[in-house]
Amino acid sequence: METSDSVKKMVKEKYGQIALQSYSENAGSCCGAGGCGTVDYTVFSDDYSQLDGYNPDADLALGCGIPTEFAHIREGYTVVDLGSGAGNDAFVARKLVGPEGRVIGIDMTEAMIEKAHINTKKLGFTNMDFRLGDIENMPVEDNYADVVISNCVLNLVPDKNKAFSEIFRILKPGAHFSISDVVLEGTLPPAIESAAVMYAGCISGALQKEDYMAIIDRTGFKEAAIQKEKPIQVPDSILREYLSDGELEEFKKSGASIISITVFGKKPS
């Protein structure tokens, strides 16, 4: 059984490796960072290249949705991006808030923060800040953000109740979040559930969809709703790293599914 600290250490190490790769290196390798025999992080990702504010230097082919698509971000807003990585979603959000707004990125991986700072400096933006920090204990003051976004990150956080409690804390009264994440319907095979590398690949750490939504409700958010939903197909070649042919066939017949959702929730006024 992985402890909270060991999970965080493993995730930091894996995403530290990814931070050192370009989009083409990460997307072009057979199974993402680390080469064959690991997880293909790119099976989750969406195409950002046509979005205003897109910065190719910040796109590492990660994520499982486009949370800014449904985030109702307006000019002048303050946006906090959780698990901001090299800044892919943050740069899109920065275009939406304009020069009078502000975007704060939070990430626990030093290499990602460094890469985001380099990308920001290249563009000369002064209304963006990337902070090293833990989503379970964010370096952000109370009632600060107009919108919180996150892309395929909360599934990596061991204490999701604490994570949503922190989101509630930093949002202004009446403000909201738009989060893309991975959830499950049905039961994963034990070999997948126990594989640490599959946790870093956003699978083992995923909750059942109804449990995920229940945390949002218990935290006190209102108007919680799934804005977008799509199935994620993990290639058999990856699943066979953990499952026998018989176990793989049984998993497919079980009807269990891995799903990307983009979900909305609002802090009461």
What end-to-end distance do the CA atoms of the chain give, in Å?
A: 40
Strand residues in 111-251 grouped as ranges (E)? 128-132, 145-151, 171-185, 207-208, 222-232
Q: What is the pTM of this model?
A: 0.88
Whole-number pLDDT of residue 18: 77
Q: Using alpha carbons, select from 168, 105, 136 the residue that is nearest to residue 8.
A: 136
Residue 84 pLDDT class (50, 70, 90 cuts): very high
Token pair for 58: 């910040």
Percent of the chain with pLDDT over 90: 60
Q: Out of 16-30, 71-85, 109-123, 202-216, which region has the weakest mean confidence (pLDDT)?
A: 16-30
d(CA 18, CA 102): 26
Give 31 or 236, the one with higher predicted confidence. 236
d(CA 138, CA 169): 10
d(CA 176, CA 38): 35
Whole-number pLDDT of residue 189: 82
Residue 255 pLDDT class (50, 70, 90 cuts): confident
Residue 105 pLDDT class (50, 70, 90 cuts): very high
Whole-number pLDDT of residue 235: 81
Whole-number pLDDT of residue 39: 47
Domains of the chain, first to last = 4-266 (3.40.50.150)
Whole-number pLDDT of residue 188: 82
Whole-number pLDDT of residue 37: 42
Question: Is residue 138 over pLDDT 90?
Answer: yes
Mean pLDDT, residues 139-159 taken together: 95
Mean pLDDT, residues 226-238 taken together: 87
Question: Is residue 199 over pLDDT 60?
Answer: no
Q: Using alpha carbons, select from 167, 150, 161, 135 the residue that is nearest to residue 266.
A: 167
Percent of the chain with pLDDT over 70: 86
Whole-number pLDDT of residue 208: 92
DSSP state of 58: G
Pick the most confident of 16-30, 165-179, 196-210: 165-179
d(CA 235, CA 195): 16
Mean pLDDT across the chain: 86
Which phi and psi (to 5°) does residue 178 adopt? -135, 115
Which tens digits make up the pLDDT trace of 21-69? Answer: 765 555 543 334 444 344 444 556 688 889 999 999 999 878 889 999 9
Token pair for 264: 């909305």
Residue 104 bridge partners (DSSP) = 80, 129
Mean pLDDT, residues 248-253 taken together: 90
